[in-house]
Amino acid sequence: MKEHLHKISLFVKNLDNEVLSVVQTISTTKHVKKGEYLLRHDEVCRHSYWIEQGVLRKFYVHEGKEHTTELLFENDIAVSLASYSLQKPGREYIQAITEAVVSQTDFASFQTAKKVYPQLMELDLLMTEYHAVWLEKRLYEFHTLDATQRYKLLLQEHPHILHTVPLTYIASYLGISLETLSRIRAKI
């Protein structure tokens, strides 16, 4: 995963200034309050959000229960791919779990820009590949690790997570109940 991110940031570093400034012009900075929603169930995801500060989560609701699919930190990009890529309503919510500052890019403008600047098309491809590999990793972890191992791994990858993300969301992200997470923590 690290290598993938490195490849992307290298690519961004080498982007033409013209391309960079185009991206600037189609993006706007947005301040988000804790608890605020950037996307709701059944809405079309018309923006991607580059997180400058703060923490977001993505989740859906199934049988009255929230399932957190992603926890997003600085420099991550928040987007509900299924909804975004086809511009049709999706099931996911995107919510700020701390105060946050995001740079929001409009889908339609970005589509247009991609046609004009193939570099942006390539960037989009790189980021989508990254996301797909990340999803494969997540599936892999669910199939090969038990709840305790997944929790330990999460702590390793995000040492500060306990300071910013409530245990409820962490449990949900790990695919376990809050009670089970509590027992795991007591046992360690």
Partner DNA sequence: CGAGGCCTTGACCGCGGTCAATGCCCGTGG
Partner DNA sequence: CCACGGGCATTGACCGCGGTCAAGGCCTCG
Positions in the binding site for a second copy (CB under 8 A): 3-4, 7, 60, 62-63, 67, 69, 81-82, 85-86, 88, 114, 118, 121-122, 124-125, 128-129, 131-133, 135-140, 142-144, 175
Place of tokens 């449990």: 171
In terms of residues, how long is the chain?
188
Regarding 75 and contact with DNA (CB under 7 A), the answer is no
Please say which residue, 53 or 180, places its beta carbon nearer to DNA: 180
Contact 97, 165 (CB under 8 A): yes
The arrangement of strands across the sheet holding 37-39 comes to 37-39, 93-96, 56-62, 65-72
Residue closer to DNA by CB (options 115, 163) is 163
Binding to DNA by residue 179, rule CB under 7 A?
yes
Near DNA by CB under 7 A: residue from 90, 168, 173, 188: 168
Supply the minimum distance, in Å, between the C-beta of residue 65 and a second copy.
9
**136 near DNA (CB under 7 A):** no
Number of residues that bind DNA (CB under 7 A): 18
Tell me, what DSSP letter sits at residue 37?
Answer: E
Q: Is 33 in the site for DNA (CB under 7 A)?
A: no
The DSSP call for residue 41 is T
Q: What is the Rg, in whole angstroms, of the alpha carbon atoms belonging to the chain?
A: 17
CA distance 94 to 36: 9
Q: Does 185 bind DNA (CB under 7 A)?
A: yes
Q: 171: Cβ–Cβ under 8 A, 6 or more apart, which residues? A: 177, 178, 180, 181
- Using CB under 7 A as the binding rule, the residues of this chain from 148 to 167 that contact DNA are 148, 166-167
